[in-house]
Every structure is written in C-alpha cells, then in structure tokens.
Structure 1
C-alpha cells in the first residue's frame, strides 16, 4: 500500500473541505466503517503496455492535479501534499488456470478494503496483467477526492499523457484548474446572496413536516452501526428497444432521466402506496470548461420531492418530474445537509432525507494507451447500500446499448427480487411515452413473464385430486384393508391412566349403528347435526356417523355460555343435537343423548346400500367465525374441499399406518380435524387426550405413552410442548404443524433443535379449509418473520392491489385465495357475496378475499404481513374486535366500548376492554355481569386460553380493578 511522500522543499498546506466534500465527510462520519463512498471502475487494455511509461505518465498527472495529492483527515480538514508516490500496484495473472476467475476473486477481496483517512492516499490503482496482451485496470477512489466525472477525466488524461510519452511527443497542457481554488470558491458561495436564494428555493420545495420514508417492505435489519448489504442488478437495453422510447419522450420534451425518476416513483406509489417520494439527483457541480477538465470532487445531490397522487396522469407525473429536475439543477450548489438540518431529519427517525437515488452516468471510454485500446469499461459499485434503492443509467459513448443498474439494500430486497424490480422499472419506463393521458393506476406494473409466473407458474406443479372421495369413504377403505388395526386409543380420567382402544372394525360398526339411528330420527342428506361433545370417542363416532348418514356436522364449544350456544344453534338451523348429557339448554330442541362409552356393537351389522350416504359434492361441516358486525358467520365447507386438503397432508407428510396423531386441539377449532380425521383416511391411529386443559408435562407424558408421531399446534401450545419435552421426551414425534397466529422464528428454531422433528408453519383462514399454505421450517434469522409457504394442492394464492391487479413478487398487497378447496360460502348470502368473487384469472371459478395482507417472494413463498381490518388471531382463534365491542355494548349503561389486544411485559397477549357510559354500573357489577354473560353478551371475563374462544370473545379486566 502506497504511503504519502511529501517533497523536501515545498511545505504541505492545510485546507478546509469544499461544500461537496463536506457532504461526503458527514456521510462518512455517520457510517465510519462503511465503504459505500468508494467509487471507480475497471477497463481492459488490449495489447502491449509499457509499464515504465505507464508509471511516468501517472507521476506527471499526480504532479499537475491537486486532487490526487489531497489527504483528507477524520477531523473534517485535508492536507495538500507537494509530492506523493502514485499508488499503482502490479499483480501478475496466473500462467495457468482461469484468469477471469482469478480477477473476480481478487476484486471481491479488494473492494472490501477501506481507506484509512489521514494515513494513506484515498485512491488506489491496480493493474492485473499477464505481461503481454491481457490486462485489467482497476481504479478505486474515496468520494472525498473524486466523483464519477472525475474518474472518466482521470483515465482520459492518463491515456493522453502515456500516448504522448510513448512516441516522444510533448505532453498536452493540462486544461484544468487548481482544486484548492475551487475549495475557496465553494466556501465563498456560502456567504453569498446566491446561497440565500437557493436556500429559499429548497425551503419552498419541501414542507415543514417530512413525508414518511418510502422503501420496499422491510425484510430484516442490518447489524447495528452498519449499512445493509447491497444487491446489484444490471440490464442492457438495446438501441432497438431504447430508440422508440427516447423518441416518444423527446417529442414531449422529456429525457430518459425524467422517465427513470417517474417510473421509480410510480412503482413505489403503486407497490407501496407512496404519495410522496424523495429522490436524490446527482449533478456535476462543474460550471465552465476549466472545472470540467479538473480532477476532483465537485458533484452535489439535490433532493427532488415527487408526488405521484392517485388520479394523476402519466403525462402530469412526467411534467412534475421534469419541472423538479430543471429547478434542482438551477439551485444545485445548495448542500443537501442544509435541507436535512432545517427539516430536523433525526427527529423524524430518518438517517437520510432520500428514499432513493437516480443517477445518469454519461461517459465515453473510447480511449487507448498508445495502440492498446480500452475495452469492457464499467463502473464499479460497492458492497453496502446507502439508500433502499439506487438506479443508475449508464451511457458509454456510442455503445449499441444503454445499461440500467439497480442497487438495492438487502433489508428491503433479495438478489432475485432486485433483478425482477429492475425489469419492472424498465417495463414502466417503456410504457410512459405511449400512455401520457392514462391515469397512473392504468399502467401495467408487471412484465408479461412475471405476471404469468405469478398467476400460473406458482401453481402449475401442484397436484390436483381429480376424483376426491369423502373422508368417510377413505375411512371405510382402510377398515376393509385392515379391520383389526387400531384406530383410536384413549385413557380413563383416573389417577393411574387406564388405556382403551378401538379397532377400525369396531369404529366402523359403531359409526354405522349411530348413522342408522340418525336416519331413523329423520336426518336427511345435507342436514346439519350439532355436536355438543367434549374431546372423547363419542365425538369421533359422531363425526363419522353424521357423514355416513349424509349429514354435515357443526362442532360446538361446550364451554361457551348458554346464550351463545343457543344463538349458534338458531343460526345454524341444525336438525339434530348430539350431546353427552341433555340439560336445560336443550329443551325445545330436537336432540339425541349419546353416552360416552358405548355400548359398542361387538360385530359388524350387515352392509346395506345406505351405509355411506356421504357425497363429495355435499357439505361436510360448518364452523362459526367472529363477525365484525357482532353477528357470527357460519362457514360452510364441502366434502370435496376437505378431502383435497387431507390428501395434501397425507402426501406431503408421508403418513402411513405406523403414524399416530395426538388429539389435543380444542374440537371446535378447525385444525382439530387434522388430528381427528387425517389418521383415519390413511390407516393410522389417533390418541385422544382427556377433555379440558392440560399441563405441558401431562401432554408430553401422554404423547410419550402412546408414541404419538404428529400433532397440530398453535404457538402457545408449541411453547408448552417444548417445556414438557424437557421432562418427558417423545422420541416418536416426527412432525408437527403450527398455525393460527404468527410463529416466532426463535420458537421454530428451538423446536427444530430440541426435537429433530419436522415443523410446518401453516397459514389460512377457515374459509380455505383449515389452511391454504405451508412452509417446512428450517433454521431462520430471528429478526426476520418466517414465511408461511407455498400454496397447497388444489389451491391458488394471489396478491392483488385494491383494483384487483396482480402485484409483483416482493410487493405487499391483499391476499386472495382460490381453487376447489374454498368453502362453499357462508350461511348468509350477503356475506358470501362480499367475500367471494369471480376469479378473473380462471373464468367460472371463485376467489376469496382473506382480509390478510402479505407478499410472495421469488421462490413463491407467501409472507404474512398483518390484517387490513381489526380482526386478530389469538391462541389460534379468529376474533373480530368489533364483535367483542358489540357484546360489551349490551351491558346495562354502556354506551361506548373499545377493545384491543395487548401484551403486558413477558406475559401472554390478552383482550382488554374500555367501557364508557352516562349511567354505567360500578366497575365491580360490570365485571360480575361480564363474567356471567349478563345482558346476552355471552362474554367471558377471564384470561384467554387455548380452547376458551370459538365464535365468541373474552376480555380481561385490567390491573387495579379498572375496565
């Protein structure tokens, strides 16, 4: 590494920084360990090079150019050295092997090196050569002493001096000025009237209140004190593509730069909802021929504030950009830091005034060292990202193509997303001149290839079940294949557990016996049967019998208040109610009392044609979900959809007769169907936990005793499971799925490390038949949310904007679900009409608006990004806060109610209600009313725990007895 070499005679000078240098220094001070301010490039001289002549030419150029003898210091000043030894290092290319690979490896290592300000020259040259015809010349400068224009002028002057020395001609005179004079002029500007006029201009361009920062969605965090890593994408645009676009723009007085800024702002407007985007625009900062020929740092950056409002036309947006660009160039000397200081940048939580940078590099490298022309010239880019996005238009002389280069911060875009985003930006740029009168919302955001990939490509490899059978038909097939195989095990609720079991033959016979009773009680095909049963063999028997009799089941939560149960029974129109013990609730309702343990028929009844009346096209079950209006919504799911979902699980999870599920999910929660029904379709078995809540140790001890191999969980029970596994390991456990709410990466990582089992993070509303996507968990950064996976078989996932247009990979929007695994609809036709719409991409089919927001990554994995309304997921249960508030308003004297889900400290999240009214009862009476469900509220005042909610809601009073 070359060291400064001051001459013996001339003293060095201490200089302040110019205004443009000071801007760079401020940025370097903010990120002292970053190399984002290193610039330069490379070129490849072809032919022989005289290395002595190359060195002499460089020494002459250093002697005449003050900028090459500047030594900036950390404190904000710089020294001008009288003499320096040019830092040109020679590296021999290997005689054997791949020279290009060697150069690439060297460059990857070289660009990690940092300049140590004040101790070494802030520029470095490297010549990699085979000593004959092949050379690679790399230039690296710290932005404190050189800008992009200066690097081009550096090469021009070096080749000019070299070519003259090589043939003995006089060296052409240096036409540039002294950089120290530019420093003085720059500082004089600060005290001039021009500075005040520029300050006034920029104050008028920017509001007193900063707009929100705009960037692609957050996908992680950079290390503290470090800039995020950078992803780079390049796209060469041929003249055949470029010329029609240029002609269309120029006909309206616009430039390609205008189009680039407009396309970037339009993309952030459509993709992120941005109504104001701050775009950085670099300018040369060189007025007059003298400064254009001077090496050094002159460039400035102007902050353009572009407002792509809804309803604006393409032409209006281009006009706004053009006006901002022209005004910015007229006031380009004003420092960006002054505007940032006036706007109190740090108070706004921003480390930069800019959301993105757009640059134009118009350079010519048609140069040669004597008879050795420079080829493959290119600009170099760093490894760290200062801004979320930075777009550069590179025009190199008379090249047949223009290159677009996009830099994207890793915390906003992955490598594949960056490449796709660059293609989208060019796609938008190309559309602008042909759509000047169109509103911004009309332009197609996606290139055709990406649109096809999102609509068709992500779903083309999914299996489709051509002729699905019902789960009963699948069960009966297994019963005939292995009638003596164990189907069900359970335990008596005694101090010393006593195990019981049923074979497939016994379960077949018992369910047939009950199915015939149901038909005898008047049950017809597609009638609803309500099941008010605890977790027990009776519940499983009732599920099978109801389906065999041609009916559809509705599982009710036995812990629900009587008023709530009565409401759901009335809404459902259930024809029969199966319960363990008839009670006051059931008076006036058609009912059938079902004993818990039998008697089980010892032998099979003779087969008859009506022994299985289930049909794939008929309804299978109903589940009630929380409604925003305070009225629960009944979701109707068909046999066809249910069996398609069970078929995916069986295939993807490789289930076999050796597997055993543990059934511990609250039965009225649809993931319970995974544990209840899936094993019976594959010849496997299930172990029923006793009713009620269980400690982690009791759960894992039960699983260990019965050698459970898979289960369905929500994050809270997954946490409990891991706690219980410390005392009672379950070596048989090989698979679990977790859904219902967001799964923390730390919990997923812990499960994988502690158990060695597979874990699937699943997503999907009740209307999508249990879940719609799944991701096989793997070790994951704990500062990034887990994906929720790709669409399952017979399911399609779209991410659309408010106009139902397809959004690109990586862009957050509304999640719509489609395919034959959707629910048949809701009980109420108006609810169905609001949520289920025709699928525009598959005519004749439907899609469902989930109400969730998310985005698809380039691997097709869905990422959940929250709700677009006030619905929440708590302990796996879907809760509309509006329904809870509606229940609160039924309490005497309550006129206003507000409900939120809050987490206090490290404890679990709970619902909290705030009530107000003119004649409210004392807090103690209200609390008592809430606990008892007074006023028809059906509202439990207690902690929300697994199994406590389904189709109703709970709140808990806040500390100190307040509500």
Structure 2
C-alpha cells in the first residue's frame, strides 16, 4: 500500500518539507501549521482514504487546516481531488458530487446527503504517499446548459506547468506567499504548490486584510502576491496604494481578468521593488499558459485598449488564431497543459479543434499578435452590434478610463431598439453629459453609450472577479419598461 512514486503536485510538498527547515507551510489567522505537522496529518488522513479505496475525494471546507490537509491527503492517497465551496447552494454542490463520482468527502461542516464523510481520527497512517492518479484534480466551471462543467486536470500537465515556473522564478524558503484564491479556483494551485515547492509558507488573506493591506503584508512578511486584478481597485479605495506602501513584495502576479495599465502602474508605485507579471490561462489549460512581464516604459506603449498584454504562450505549446484577420482572431492552444477532457464528453462540443494532427482548445478569447507575444482583446462575446456598429466593449472601457472615470464595466444589453451599451463606473460620480462629451472626442457617435450608472463598488463572484452577469441583470432591470396602471 505504501509504494513511493515520483510525479504529481504532492512531490512539490515533499520537496518543500526538505527545504523548509521546520518552517510554516500554511498560516491561517492565528494558526500556523508547519510542514511536518501538515505532512503527518496528510499521511494519517491519506491512510484512512486508502483503506476505504477512495479514488475521487471531495474537499468541502473553507480556507483552513481541513481544506489544506484534505487536498494533500487525497493526493497522498493517490486519489483525484475535487475542491468544493461550502457556501455554494446545496443543489449545485450535489450536482458536482454526482458528476465527479466522489467516493468520500473531507469536510469541516455538513456533507451532502448520502456521501460518506472521512472520519479524521480513523485509519492507519501511510508511511509514504501512494502512486499518483492520472487526474490530479477536477475543477468545475460555469456551463452554458446551467449545470456545472467538470474539467479534468492531469498530473503530467501539472508537472509540465510547475517545471516551467521553477525555471522562470527564484522562489526560496525565505519567501512568504499570499493565498487569496479559494481552492475551487485553479490559481489557488499556484499559491500552494509554488509556495510548497520552495519550502515557503502560504498565508491566507482574511477579508479584513484588504482594509489595510500594507499593514497585513508587513505583519506577515509577504514577498509574493497573487490575486485577480479586481483586488487592485479594492486596495486603492482603502488607501493602500500610496507610493512605497508595499515595499516587501518582490513578485506580484495577476490573473483571471484583463489587467489594465492604470491598475498596474498604481500597484507598481506601491510595490516599487516588485516584478509584476500578467498571467493568462483558462482552467482547461492548467492554471496559466502564458505570461507577460511588466515594463514601466515599454508596456504602456504596446498595450492595446489600455490592457496589459498576456505575453508568450508557454514553451512546448502551439497556438493558432482561428478566423485570423489583420493579426487578430480566437486563440486556440495545443500542448501538454491541455485538459484530457471534461467529465461529461458532451461538454466538449465546440470547445476543441483538430488541426494538422493536433487537438487545440478553443479559448473563446480574441487576441492580437504583437512583436513580443499576444495582446488580449476580450471575449468573443464582448464584441456587440449596436445600430450597425461593431463595438468592442474593452475599447469603450479604455476610453472611459482615459476620461478620468475610476473604473468601468461596459455591457451590451438588449433594449427596445436592439442592443444598447450600459456603463457601470466607480470613483467619483460624474455628470453624464461630461462623460459623453469626452467620449465624442475619441469614439464614433454610434459607439457612445446611452446609459450610465455610478456604483460604489462592483459586485464580485466567488472567484473575486467582477460579476458581469449580476451587472447585466441589473442593467436589464433598469432598462425594463415601467408597467402602466
């Protein structure tokens, strides 16, 4: 039962165990768990999982000891991990449990009815991790059919990914990583297994940390930051982006949304010693599959629509631009980081493309070729038709930011006269006429939005990305005709 094999993300933790010198593996609130403590706990729970013959393990827990030990224990037991959010609706969690075929759940609360829960006190501890599963973990994304879509992430894809990161970055046991992402968001794997591969601690950020990030970062000694770009505006609004406010950071990474030049410049002013990278990649391509390193002079010059480029696709991968015209098209990528497929093969319809004997994943993202990598232009569905005009929503957002608006989301919403542009913006409230006049100086008349709404802050989804669906629903409500009588 205790055969040792190399490969798989758990081997990064084992390397960190050797490098850490008895240091902390994860810091949650006032609780710090050392590498040795987490290793012993994972071996014990992994033994209990192995005795049950568990092949697919759900981890239903908030960011805490149960979650981190549970992920590691499942990997030690040679099982596939399925991270689950305890604050998701029960019906949605039940769908995921059934779709993934979960055998056992590790939880710090209640599990769905009918699913065995691991007794965390039972079982004989493993003497060493077991052979890893071909699929290391399964993550669920939103499905167009209204049900979650399970993406399988392979062990060899993760080995390739983290091998590239090891060659690119100089992480050491002296680093301290932020852990901002929930475990059902693939970027959390970067947080954990980059930290653990270096023998460094991962520090969980409580919600209150954003109210005074400079103080939290100083108290915890953060040196590596990773979050969605939305966090930048949150820190800005709480006064945390003053020049030199984050002096301890030496690496800053952002992914999950378009990263603007304005936001990056503000972050760089606060974290002037930090190298900043914009990372890009859908779940189906294993966390991130390209990267661009910010340059204070060059990046603003080459940015398209005020958005930082996504850079070069990772070594070992091929890409093509579908329906390419003038150097722009839908980005399709083939290579070792690509998912072996979805849990339900029916979900693969239209998502993959066979060219020259290779299988490419269609990202649904429009990009432009640059001299050095790629520029992100937006989702295919972010291009809308308004009164005959083909409008790129990111272009309008960029124009509004240049007019001095704090931050902005532009949506195409169905109205009485067809698709209409609706603007939500933060920062100081501005007269609509003033914004319209400024836009007329840079955009054609048909591209000028008709509707504007000031908000204190944008709603965020569970992955802390701007929740455009919620904003779209709010815009539709505001545009709906008022009933008469």
TM-score normalised per structure 2: 0.75
Q: Which residue of 1 is the match for residue 310 of structure 2?
A: 788
Q: CA deviation at 1:634?
A: 0.9
8 A Cα contact 1:642 1:769, kept in partner:
yes
| Deviations, residues 226-269 of structure 1 (Å, cap 9, x unaligned) | xxxxxxxxxxxxxxxxxxxxxxxxxxxxxxxxxxxxxxxxxxxx
- Give the alignment's Cα RMSD to 1 decimal: 3.6
> Contact 2:244–2:271 (CA<8 Å) still a contact in 1?
no
Could you tell me which residue of structure 2 aligns to residue 703 of structure 1?
217
> Given the alignment of the two structures, is residue 851 of structure 1 paired with residue 379 of structure 2, yes or no?
no
Cα offset, 1:787, TM superposition: 1.2
1:866 aligns with 2:378: yes
Which of 486, 491, 495 is the aligned partner of 2:24?
Answer: 486
Deviations 1:411-441 (CA, angstroms, capped at 9, x unpaired): xxxxxxxxxxxxxxxxxxxxxxxxxxxxxxx
User: For residue 749 of structure 1, what is the aligned residue in structure 2?
Assistant: 265
The whole-number CA distance in structure 2 between the counterparts of 1:753 and 1:947 is 28
Q: Distance in 2 between matches of 1:869 and 1:952?
A: 12
- 1:500 matches 2:31: yes
Q: Deviations over 1:59-80 (max 9, x none)?
A: xxxxxxxxxxxxxxxxxxxxxx
CA distance in 1, matches of 2:88, 2:243: 33
1:671 aligns with 2:209: no
The Cα offsets for residues 705-748 of structure 1, whole Å up to 9 and x where unpaired, read as 11111121111102223442449933221111112111111111
Which structure has the greater CA radius of gyration?
A: 1
Q: Give the match's secondary structure for 1:904.
A: strand
Number of residues of Structure 1 aligned to a counterpart in Structure 2: 408
Once the two structures are superposed, residues 762-796 of structure 1 have per-residue CA deviations (whole angstroms, 9 ceiling, x without a partner) of 21111111111110011214764321100123333
Deviations 1:150-187 (A, max 9, x none): xxxxxxxxxxxxxxxxxxxxxxxxxxxxxxxxxxxxxx
Change (3 A) 1:755 1:858: same
Matches within 5 A, 1:362-381: none
Aligned to 2:290: 773
TM-fit CA distance, 1:751:
1.7
Deviation at 1:627, TM superposition (A): 2.0
1:476 CA displacement = 1.3
Give unpaired runs (5+ residues) of structure 2. Answer: 384-392, 395-410, 429-456, 481-485
Within a 5 Å distance, the mapping from 1:443-592 to structure 2 comes to 469-482=7-20, 484-491=22-29, 499-524=30-55, 527=56, 529-582=57-110, 586-592=112-118
Name the structure 1 match of 2:406.
none
How far the C-alpha of 1:589 sits from its partner, in A, is 2.0
Distance 2:317 2:353 in 1: 15
Report SS of the residue matched to 2:105. strand
In structure 2, relative to structure 1, the CA distance for the partners of 1:827 and 1:484 (3 Å cut) is same
Q: Tell me the secondary structure at the aligned position of residue 729 of structure 1.
A: coil
Tell whether the 8 Å contact from 1:559 to 1:948 is kept in structure 2 after alignment.
Answer: no
Counterpart mapping for 1:303-322 below 5 A:
none
Counterpart residue number, 2:277: 760
Q: 1:770 to 1:745 in 2, by over 3 A?
A: same
CA distance in 2, matches of 1:852, 1:962: 28
Instruction: Say if 1:688 and 1:587 are closer, same or farther in 2 by CA, change over 3 A.
Output: same
> Is the 1:531–1:579 Cα contact (8 Å) retained in structure 2?
yes
C-alpha change, 1:789 and 1:471, in structure 2 (3 Å) is same
| Counterpart selection for 2:131 from 613, 621, 624 | 613
Matched, 1:827 2:340: no
CA spacing shift, 1:662–1:825, aligned 2, 3 Å: same
Contact 1:581–1:593 (CA under 8 A) maintained in structure 2? no
Q: Say whether the 8 Å CA contact 1:943–1:954 is kept in structure 2.
A: no
Closer/same/farther in 2, CA of residues 958 and 847 from structure 1, 3 Å limit: closer
| Matched residue, 1:233 | none
Cα contact 1:473–1:612 (8 A) shared by 2: no
SS in 2 for 1:705: helix
